[in-house]
Amino acid sequence: MLKISKKRSVTLSLILAVVFMLLLVGCAVLLPQIVPPLVTFANTSGVIPSLIEAQATPLLVFGYLIVATMALADVLLVSLLVHVKDDKVFSGGSVARIRGISWCCFALGMWFAVLGIWFQLSLLAAVAAVFLGLCLRVVKNVIEQATAIKEENDFTV
């Protein structure tokens, strides 16, 4: 299996996180053009155009909520990666950043669950986001415990 150095891995992760942020910005710009065709596609039963417009507004609101939440999680992720790059993994700051990312995942799960009113497939995204948030909570607890052990050891030495 391909193995790259720690420094290159963190750098690659930072680059991917920045690229993801650029994609989110592009998505935010294109969202008003994306939502109406999605609503029309979901309502293929000959729905009145004014009803399609009425459904597009809440979908646009939830679309922006999802993009904003993902952007916040991405900013926290970049900040965490900078922390890792500076060898500050086992610190309260890292724990706080992981906690923030997990709460963003739970918020995304909620937004996608509400979106399930219009698109049932988004319920799968809601479950995936909540599961990812749960996994991150476990990682946060492990890092928090390791940080406590490291601080205890630092006092001993």
117 or 114: which leads in pLDDT: 114
pLDDT of residue 41 exceeding 80, the answer is: no
pLDDT band at 15; cut points 50, 70, 90? very high
pTM of the full predicted structure?
0.85
Region 35-52: mean pLDDT is 62
Map tokens 């993902």 to a residue. Answer: 70
CA torsion, ordered 11, 79, 139, 143, to nearest 10 deg = 100
3-state secondary structure of 77: helix
